Every structure is written in structure tokens, then in C-alpha cells.
Amino acid sequence: MNEAVPPRILVVDDEPQIHRFLGPALEAAGYAPLRATTMAEGLRLAAERAPALVLLDLGLPDGDGKLAIPRLRGFTEAPVIVLSARDQEAEKVASLDAGADDYVEKPFALGELLARLRAALRRAGAAARQPADSILRVGALELDLARRTARVGGGEPLKLTPREWDLLAALVRGGEGRVTTQRQLLAAVWGPAHVEDAQYLRVYIGHLRQKLGPAAGLIRTEPGVGYRFGEA
């Protein structure tokens, strides 16, 4: 009987200590780490070895790691988790807007990184299996995309305005546990002309939380970045 091949995790980072730390940790967690120290090497390995997930540093010797994200998206749907320096909110937002699935701040705790990695792999697997017209469930919340209805705990449909529904659907479609930036939500719900109108978003997020009641905690604020949807 053939043993299952462990998922490949591509780590693109020019810091040797990151690879010395993450390599054994990923192996112990049941993954097969791939190592790259430049953006060019990372893109080549991503194309040749088809990793299940990419951990991408932003400060690479041959360019800004954000520039690799749209290039990766051109040939792979593997989740991309950015390894970001602390307190650089603009970098996180730009990375997520470019197509990253999540970010983890440096220095990071191994347990948090592995949890984010597992969540991203689960989301990727669920998205691959999910029919386009299915009912989406996150915690106590149930969305029927075809009927544009939402229920909490199997109760009556929530009384949502069209805009509130669009915002809730955009958060859910973003993926459980994944950060969706303010600009992404504003563009999806209000259109590209309103990507700077953050006040709209704050007001409608407040309305949604009130109407979700016991499920309001599914919408978590990521200060300066956007919102993370899903159970804590």
C-alpha cells in the first residue's frame, strides 16, 4: 500500500533562521517543506513542485514579495500566507488586495502559524468541493445564496436590506477565518468608486452585527486592515 504523500509547503524567505525553525516544525506537523530564498526561486518551485500552500515573506532580496502574489495567482490556486513585519498595516492590506489568503506577523508563534496554515488548507479543500449554488454554513449562520436569505440557529430569515445581504455574502465568500480588506468589501458591495469610503463599511458592519445577534461574533475587526469572518 502506498503511503499518502504529505502536502508540500513552500517557504519563500531569505532568513536562514526561518528555514531552520520552520523546516523541522513543518515536517513534525506532517508536511513536506520546500525552501526558497528569492522570489524567482519561489516562483520556479511553485510552478515545478505544485505546493499545497505558500508561506511568503515580503522582504526578498530580488524584489517585493507582494509582486509575487499576482504571478502565483496566474498558475496556482494554492493559498498564500504572507509573513509580515509587525505594525505594517499598509503592507498587509496591499498583500491581501493582491490576492494573499492571510498574513501572520513576524515574529510569530509557531502554534498560530500552523493553525492559520491548517485553516487555509481546509478552506481551499472546501472551496474545491463546494457547488456554486450550495447553502453556506459558518457556525450558527446559514446562507442560502440562491434565495438570498440568512438564518441564525435555524430560526426565521433575518430581515436584511439588499446592501446588508451583499456585505454579509461578501464576508462569507471571502472564506472562514480569512481576512477580507476594507477595499475589497467596499469594491464588492458599493463598487470601485467607493473603495475609500470606510465609513459606509463601519456603519453597515454595525447593522449586521446587531441583526446577527448571537452570531455577531462571527465578524471580527482586524484594525486598519478589514474584517475576519468565522468562529474564533
Residue 23 host element (H or E): helix 16-28
pLDDT tens digits for range 123-155: 777 555 555 556 788 888 998 887 888 999 888
Please state the domain extents for the chain.
8-128, 131-229
What's the sign of the alpha-carbon dihedral 217, 229, 88, 57?
positive
Q: What is the CATH number of domain 131-229?
A: 1.10.10.10
Task: Please give the residue that has the higher pLDDT: either 24 or 183.
Answer: 24
What values do phi and psi take at 5, rounded to 5? -80, 125
Peptide bond into 107 cis (omega under 30): yes
pLDDT at 123: 78
What are the counts of helices (DSSP H) followed by strands (DSSP E) for the chain?
8, 13
Q: Which CATH number fits domain 8-128: 3.30.390.50, 3.40.50.2300, 3.40.50.1370, 1.10.10.10?
A: 3.40.50.2300
Confidence band (pLDDT; 50, 70, 90) for 1?
Answer: very low
What would you measure as the largest C-alpha separation in the chain, in angstroms?
A: 58
**Rounded distance between C-alpha atoms, residue 60 and residue 85, angstroms:** 12
Q: Tally Cβ neighbours within 10 Å of residue 193.
A: 9
pLDDT tens digits for range 3-39: 567 999 999 999 999 999 999 999 999 999 999 999 9
pLDDT at 128: 53
pLDDT at 7: 92
pLDDT tens digits for range 60-83: 999 999 999 989 988 888 999 999
